[in-house]
């Protein structure tokens, strides 16, 4: 069997087109959605991420501003800047790029963002809303994974068993909660899980969010399963690759996401959705 590809690039383009239409509608009501992105320090990966976020926003008709600060910025000054953005009605979304310099407490900084502007979905209020099934911002990566599942007709996951490998606060845990909210039976695995393969072999959906190559190999996958690869790693040649042994797993799975061109572009697209929705909510 050769798995069908879930094309993250194509789906992200669809999402951006939908966002662009809704942005136009908002603009006709005099509202210009605005994302404020804050970068502290010089982390090379973060610089690429924030540039992409700003470019994506502008291409979709959203206004995006990037504020850069040196790594030496005192935490108090960052908190003060966030307070100003919180109070600014022209700003709908605030994103502080992680990681922050070591002298800062990332939890404290994220909690300083007003929940109604928390477009990354990392605030404890957003996490709590997801937990109890209330509306709120969903973290972009698992939100994008859910859109990928919907795109192949998997919206209501009643009767399906989903295995999530990884339990971080930004991917694994919210992913599990979203799958549960879609009525899947969910198993969360991590570094302390005994016999991971025995669990993944039972799964109709496997989401790998670990950050290690070849965590999921063909012998660990049920024939026909949907495999979502969140991981971002480098192979021996320095090329971007995921957590899944793509070459092997594609012969067993029913559907699979590639890396690159899978979850990454969807993560970027869902930030636009969250920012748009923040602006729509502010208008009403």
Active site residues: 53, 97, 120
Closest distance between ligand NAP and the C-beta of residue 258, in Å? 11
Q: Which two tokens stand for residue 208?
A: 């790998």
If one asks whether residue 192 binds ligand NAP (CB under 6 A), the answer comes out as yes
CA distance 242 to 230: 7
Binds ligand NAP by CB under 6 A, chosen from 3, 12, 164, 171 = 171
Helix ranges (DSSP H) in 93-171? 106-112, 124-132, 140-151
Query: In sequence order, what DSSP letters do the residues of 209-236 get, joined into one string?
Result: -SSSTTSB-GGGS-TT-EEEE---EE-T
User: Omega of the bond prior to 117 within 30 degrees of 0, cis?
Assistant: no
**What Rg, from alpha-carbon coordinates, does the chain have?**
19
Closest distance between ligand NAP and the C-beta of residue 193, in Å? 6
Residues 83-142 that bind ligand NAP (CB under 6 A): 141
Residues 198-257 that bind ligand NAP (CB under 6 A): 209-212, 215, 230-233
If one asks whether residue 165 binds ligand NAP (CB under 6 A), the answer comes out as yes
Binds ligand NAP by CB under 6 A, chosen from 61, 93, 136, 172 = 172
User: Of 85 and 272, which has the nearer Cβ to ligand NAP?
Assistant: 272
If one asks whether residue 263 binds ligand NAP (CB under 6 A), the answer comes out as yes
Residues 35-54 that bind ligand NAP (CB under 6 A): none
Binds ligand NAP by CB under 6 A, chosen from 23, 167, 179, 279 = 167
CA distance 169 to 140: 12
Total residues interacting with ligand NAP, rule: CB under 6 A: 26
Contacts of residue 28, defined as CB under 8 A and 6 or more positions apart, other chains included, come to: none
256 in helix, strand or coil? strand
Binding segment for ligand NAP (CB under 6 A), chosen from 65-73, 89-97, 186-194, 276-284, is 186-194
Q: Determine the Cα angle at 96 with ends 9 and 131, to 5°.
A: 75
Binds ligand NAP by CB under 6 A, chosen from 40, 170, 272, 278 = 170
Element (H, E) at 267: helix 263-283
Q: Which residues lie near ligand NAP (CB under 6 A)? A: 141, 165-168, 170-172, 189-193, 196, 209-212, 215, 230-233, 263-264, 267
């Amino acid at each position: 069997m050769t798995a069908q590809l879930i094309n993250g690039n194509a789906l992200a383009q669809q999402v951006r087109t939908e966002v662009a239409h809704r942005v136009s509608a908002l603009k006709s009501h005099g509202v210009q959605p605005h994302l404020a992105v804050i970068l502290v320090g010089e982390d090379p990966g973060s610089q690429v991420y924030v540039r992409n976020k700003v470019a994506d926003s502008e291409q979709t008709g959203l206004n995006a501003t990037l504020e850069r600060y040196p790594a030496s910025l005192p935490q108090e000054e960052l908190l003060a800047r966030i307070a100003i953005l919180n109070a600014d009605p022209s700003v709908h979304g605030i994103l502080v790029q992680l990681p922050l310099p070591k002298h800062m407490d990332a939890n404290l900084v994220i909690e300083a963002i007003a929940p109604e502007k928390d477009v990354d979905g990392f605030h404890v209020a957003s996490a709590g809303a997801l937990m109890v099934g209330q509306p709120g911002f969903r973290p972009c990566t698992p939100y994008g994974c859910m859109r990928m599942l919907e795109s192949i007709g998997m919206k209501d996951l009643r009767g399906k068993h989903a295995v999530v490998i990884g339990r971080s606060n930004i991917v694994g845990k919210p992913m599990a909660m979203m799958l549960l909210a879609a009525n899947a039976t969910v198993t969360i695995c991590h570094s302390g899980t005994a016999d991971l393969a025995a669990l993944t072999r039972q799964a109709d959906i496997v989401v790998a969010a670990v950050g290690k190559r070849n965590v999921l190999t063909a012998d660990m996958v049920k024939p026909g399963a949907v495999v979502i690869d969140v991981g971002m790693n480098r192979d021996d040649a320095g090329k971007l690759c995921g957590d899944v042994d793509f070459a092997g797993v594609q012969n067993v799975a029913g559907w699979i996401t590639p890396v690159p061109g899978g979850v990454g572009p969807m993560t970027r697209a869902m930030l636009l959705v969250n920012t748009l929705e923040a602006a729509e909510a502010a208008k009403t």
